[in-house]
Amino acid sequence: MNPLSLRNVTKTYKTQGKPLITAVNDVSFTIEPGSIHGLLGPNGAGKSTLISMISGMQAPTSGSITLFDVDMVRNPEQAKGFLGVVPQEVVVEMAFTVQEVLYYFSGMYGVPKAQRQGRIDHALEDLQLSDKKDEKAKTLSGGMKRRLMIAKAMIHQPKFLILDEPTAGVDVALRQRIWDIVRRLHAEGTTILFTTHYLEEAEQLCDTITLMNHGAVIKEGKLKDIQKEFSQNSIHFELYDQNVPHPEGVHRTGSEFEFPMRSLAEDMEMLTKHYNSNLKAIRSEAASLESIFLTLTA
Ligand SMILES: Nc1ncnc2c1ncn2[C@@H]1O[C@H](COP(=O)(O)OP(=O)(O)OP(=O)(O)O)[C@@H](O)[C@H]1O
Ligand SMILES: [Mg+2]
C-alpha cells in the first residue's frame, strides 16, 4: 500500500479569452512507504498545483490520485485523514492565538481531547513557539507564521506529511530545525513529500525525487541512481609533480587531471601504480543535484 500513487494526472485551467493552461501534464509516479520524496522544478513547473490535487484542494481534470489505496476524488474525507499539509502560501487564523489555532486543528483532525494539550505543548516546543502561545497569530513574524503552519500540519501525527517550500524565507537556524523535524518524523515512520528550490536541501534529505518542468515529469526515481546516471564518469586527481609522463587518456583541467572512468577500482589501481607517491589526491565525482537540474531544465 503506497502512501501516494498518481496515474496520468492532468490539470488544465481555462480563463475566458486566454489560451488553455496545462499546469500539470500527464503526471504518474508513486511514493513508497517511509520515503522522503522531493518534488523539484523551476517556478511555474506545476509543483503546487500537483500538491493541491494530492491534498484534495482541487480535483484533477483527468487521472487518478490514491493515498494508501484510497481514491482522493471519490473518497476525499478518508484520503485527507492520512494527510498533514503545509501549503506554500502562508495561511493562519489571524484572529486566534497560537494555542487556540492548534487546539482547533487538533479537534478538527480528531485528536482525542485527553491528548490535545500534550500534543500542543509538544508541537509548540518543537517549533519554538512556546513563548508565543498566547499571542494572536496575526502578530507573529513571517517565519513564526510558517512554524505555526508546520505545527498545525503535524498536530494529528499524519502518516503522510506534505510540505510545499517549508524552508522558503526562513532563517538558517529554523531551516536546520525543520530538517531535524522532517528527519525525526521520517524516523518515526511518516512518509514525507516536500518541494524546495534549495537543491542542496533535497540532496541531503531525499531518498527519491521527481523533477518537473512545464507541468510534466522529466525525471523520477532514487536520488542516488539519478546522480549515478549523471555522474561525470571521470576520475579527478592531483599530482605533486605535474611534469611527468601520463597514461593515455589523461588530460589536464586547471590544476587537476582528469581520466575517463571505465571501472572505478581498476582505474584507481592503474593510476595509483603509475603515479605512485606523486599522487596527491584522487576522487570520482557524483554529479550534484544542481548540475543535474540545470542540465535537464535548460
Ligand atoms: N488557479 C489557476 N488558474 C490559472 N493558472 C494557474 C492557476 N494555478 C496555477 N496556474 C498556473 O499553472 C502553472 C503552474 O503553477 P504552480 O503554482 O503549480 O507552479 P510551481 O511549480 O509551484 O511554481 P513555484 O516554484 O513558483 O511555486 C503556472 O503557469 C501558473 O500560472
Ligand atoms: Mg509552488
Pairing verdict, β 160-164 and 191-195: parallel
All CATH 3.40.50.300 domain ranges of the chain, comma separated, are 4-227
Atom of ligand 1 nearest to the CA of 51: 18
* Topology of the domain covering 4-227: Rossmann fold (3.40.50)
Q: Which CATH class is domain 230-297?
A: alpha beta
User: Distance from the CA of 27 to the center of ligand 2, in angstroms?
Assistant: 16
Ligand 1 pocket mutation, candidates 13, 25, 50, criterion most atoms within 8 A of CB: 13
Cα–Cα nearest to 226, from 251, 249, 203, 255: 203
Cα–Cα nearest to 155, from 119, 181, 128: 119
Cα–Cα nearest to 120, from 147, 94, 154: 154
Cα(197)–Cα(213) distance, integer angstroms = 13
Instruction: Among the bound ligands, name the one nearest to the CA of residue 196.
Output: 1
Q: State the CB neighbour count (10 A cutoff) for residue 112.
A: 9
3-class state of residue 265 by DSSP: helix
Cα–Cα nearest to 55, from 21, 86, 30, 32: 86
User: Is 266 exposed, middle or buried, given 0-12, 13-18 or 19+ CB atoms closer than 10 A?
Assistant: exposed
All CATH 3.30.70 domain ranges of the chain, comma separated, are 230-297
pTM of the model: 0.84
Atom of ligand 1 nearest to the CA of 46: 18
Per-residue pLDDT of the chain (298 residues; tens, 9 = 90+): 999 999 999 999 998 888 999 999 999 999 999 999 999 999 999 999 999 999 999 999 999 999 999 999 999 999 999 999 999 988 888 899 999 999 999 998 889 999 999 999 999 999 999 999 999 999 999 889 999 999 999 999 999 999 999 988 888 888 999 999 999 999 999 999 999 998 888 999 999 999 999 999 999 999 988 887 877 677 889 999 999 999 998 888 888 898 888 887 888 899 999 999 999 999 887 667 887 888 888 7
**Contact status, residue 123 vs residue 156, Cβ threshold 8 Å:** no
Q: Is the CB of 45 under 6 A from ligand 1?
A: yes
Cα(36)–Cα(134) distance, integer angstroms = 33
